[in-house]
Structure 1
Amino acid sequence: MTRKIKIVFILGELRMGGTERQFLEFIRRLNRDQFTPYILAFHREGMLRTEIEKLQFPFTTLDFCETKGRFHPASYIKLYKTLRKMITYLQQEKPHIVQSYLPQANILATLTAKIAGVPIIITGRRATIDERYMIYPKFPDQWLQNRLNRWVSMIIANSSIVRQQCLQREKYMTEEKIQVVYNGVNINLYPKDIDQEHYKKTLQIPKHAAVVGIIANLHPRKGHQIFLNAAALVLQIYPGTRFLIIGRDDGMKASLEALTHTLHIEHAVRFTGERDDIPELLSVIDIQVSSSHIEGLSNALLEGMAAGKPIVATHVSGNPELIVDGHTGILVPPDNPERLAQAILRLLADQDLRSNMGKAGRQRAEQVFNIDQMVNTTERLYKNLVMTIS
């Protein structure tokens, strides 16, 4: 193949969530000798914008948001103008492929790419259907997506459970159309060699305290209340333990802080907010926890595995595809702070077990979830699709 494949990536958000971090790591490694990437984003601001601009790719933003409410006439006018801009942009650029990742972007990208005559449309499924409803409760994603699926060339799911749900519950879906490409992690970023004593001091954590951390934006689906109730039980046995909550506030911080006071554990809990130093934070964490009610394929857990941390996670959605129960971590039932606390206590009591699980997790991340493997697999899919239109 001598010509370069031109791809327009359509992003709904420039805030740095798990999907956005995956995209950034992917686009940094995309083979420039074979592919020419263009990026089109609905919004202008966010941490991802700075990182994309450093890469000096063609980058366009649309400033699309429903500032007056979804059903306000002004929102429909703005949506119409955005669709017109997207169609014009795609007609001018004439890409071989348009790819999107999340529900809103999937729908608008599919519609505009079809009208603009783009030959290959790729959309993504990054979460189970139930999780998508929790994240986008007001967006008619399922009804509309079902009707647009017939125009999509390929759907990339990030876990087998997500793929299985799509086949069972979405229309115009075939075994060949939906492919699994696991999320990838940059193994070389972990573990981070830092001055742990100094870093703990910046977090107001005592030098010798064991640290249990959760990396998840503050959203109901992530189960932070379960995490805090488990923390209260752990502190009864190991009162010197400290708990880190790392993630953007999606409207729950005040209620979670109130819960720490109700449980009388506010002295042992630290809220860090959104951070861009995850490798450093993982270096001071002894045990990583995911208390999610539902999950696609957790980037945060992948990062913890790469950092060599033992994992305690709920047995939901994609977590069993990541964590080998009893080998790289411990899986517990969701919505069960007692079982979550028992697993944390088991690891706190056994340093050898923590070390062995951490090493096994690191090895699994390197062998199964390596970022380079993810990039190579995706590039092969692009080439195979383009061959069908050549």
Structure 2
Amino acid sequence: MSEIEPSVLLFAGPFAVRGSCSYSLRLAEHLSAYGLRSTLACPDAGRVEPERRRELQIREFSHLQLPLWGCVVVRMMLQQLKLDPPDLIHIQSRNVAHHGMWLARELKRPFVLTMHDYLQPWERLAIDRRWCRRIIAVSESVKRDLMRRTGLPDDLITVIHSGVDTNERKNELSVLGTDRVPVVGAAGPLEEVKGFPFFLSAAARVLAQGRDVEFVIAGAGPEESKLRRLALDLKIDSRVTFVPNLLEFGEAIAAMDIFCLPSLQQGIGTIMLEAMALGRPVIATRVGGVDRVIRNDETGFLVPPSNSTEMADRIMELLDSPDKARSIGRAGRLEVEREFSVNQMVSRTAELYREILDRKEPVVETESAIIQHAR
């Protein structure tokens, strides 16, 4: 290795308000503290605050995600990268894996791929074993599922939990304060797998008990119109506020007293970690890697997926016991500080980069391994 700091290309998809995008931004912000130069490249960073975009010097390659134009754009990107090629490419999600692996082959550079969640039954994933040095899974659950369904070897997959900022603290006494109406919220991309209909059904059950509560859904996505119609059908639309125009979730979460994660499938739950870092008591479904974070009735509540009745019961339990809600919020925050800080995530990731670059692993002779899943 030369004295010049190793460089890493963080290759990401279009930015949206979701945990996997926060992951990329946090790596870009903190890697320099570990002696690594990083460049963050993506098709569209319009959802990132302009000042933050300038500070990180994000390189946008418009239309990269389009089927036809993408092939042209990625070749233009290659020509630019050849002028100062990275030492390592970190593909930020499987949604951009095809282009990322092509760049690795053309530049003859090793790559790392992060898996934030689970492969769907119909997905076909091809891993180029010639240049792949490691796959990062955000939880043991994601790793186990990936190994079971693909046959990838254990030593190719490293678990590095997603991390969140733990420096900012909101006044925990504001949780369920007596001077205002309680706010119960959920946040994330509005997609079917995130289970928001069950959150709305739980809200309807709480309101049916005569509770004076406001509910919030923060986020945008393809299910938004359906969720708005459901709120109307449940006759709770006057007590449910949708907040779709966000750059990040922090302010929305800080306005909540109780945070709910109703997901049907979840790798680790980065947005949930953000809520815990702010001292908000969490009610989450027992799916994926969530129980690695939540210890039931200690650092949060765990409920079965699709069970709006139990979620409603846990919401009312916290509403009736503000001291318990604050105690769970404190315990959750301490858990995140110990196990899921952004510094731990970046430190372990930087250590992995250096291990790969220092070892100069030999090129695997097999050009590619195609991992195919039956429909």
TM-score between the two structures when normalised by the length of structure 1: 0.85
Q: Which amino acid aligns with 2:144?
A: Q
Partner of 1:103: 94
Q: C-alpha displacement at 1:12, in angstroms? A: 1.2
Partner of 1:72: none
Any idea what the Cα deviations from partners look like across 1:243-302, whole Å, max 9, x if unmatched? 011111x12222222212221111211111132463333333111101111011111100
1:196–1:283 contact (8 Å) kept in structure 2: no
Partner of residue 332 from structure 2, selected from 358, 361, 385: 361
SS of 1:30's partner is helix
Distance 2:279 2:56 in 1: 33
Q: What count of residue pairs does the alignment treat as equivalent?
A: 360
1:14–1:49 contact (8 Å) kept in structure 2: no
Partner of 1:161: 141
Q: Which amino acid aligns with 2:8?
A: I
Q: C-alpha displacement at 1:51, in angstroms? A: 5.0
2:49–2:247 contact (8 Å) kept in structure 1: no
Partner of 1:182: 161
Moved more, 45-54 or 29-38: 45-54
Q: C-alpha displacement at 1:194, in angstroms? A: 12
Distance 1:346 1:373 in 2: 33
Distance 1:147 1:54, change over 3 A: closer
Moved more, 274-283 or 216-225: 274-283
SS of 2:211's partner is coil
Partner of 2:79: 88
Confirm whether residue 259 of structure 1 aligns to residue 269 of structure 2.
no
Q: C-alpha displacement at 1:57, in angstroms? A: 3.1
SS of 2:250's partner is helix
Distance 1:351 1:60, change over 3 A: closer
Distance 1:317 1:337, change over 3 A: same
Partner of 1:116: 107
Q: Greater RCO between the two (CA within 8 Å, min separation 6)?
A: 2
Q: C-alpha displacement at 1:225, in angstroms? A: 0.9
Moved more, 353-362 or 99-108: 99-108
Any idea what the Cα deviations from partners look like across 1:84-119, whole Å, max 9, x if unmatched? 22433333322110111112312211122112211x
Partner of 2:205: 233
Q: C-alpha displacement at 1:195, in angstroms? A: 9.6
Partner of 2:371: none
Distance 1:89 1:194, change over 3 A: farther
Partner of residue 337 from structure 1, selected from 281, 289, 308: 308
Distance 1:258 1:24, change over 3 A: same
Q: C-alpha displacement at 1:62, in angstroms? A: 4.0
Partner of residue 131 from structure 2, selected from 147, 151, 167: 151
TM-score between the two structures when normalised by the length of structure 2: 0.88
2:175–2:325 contact (8 Å) kept in structure 1: no
Gaps of 5+ in 1: 67-74, 201-205
Gaps of 5+ in 2: 362-375
Distance 1:336 1:274 in 2: 29
Identity over aligned pairs, percent: 24
1:194–1:283 contact (8 Å) kept in structure 2: no
Distance 1:9 1:21, change over 3 A: same
2:40–2:56 contact (8 Å) kept in structure 1: no
Distance 1:164 1:213, change over 3 A: same
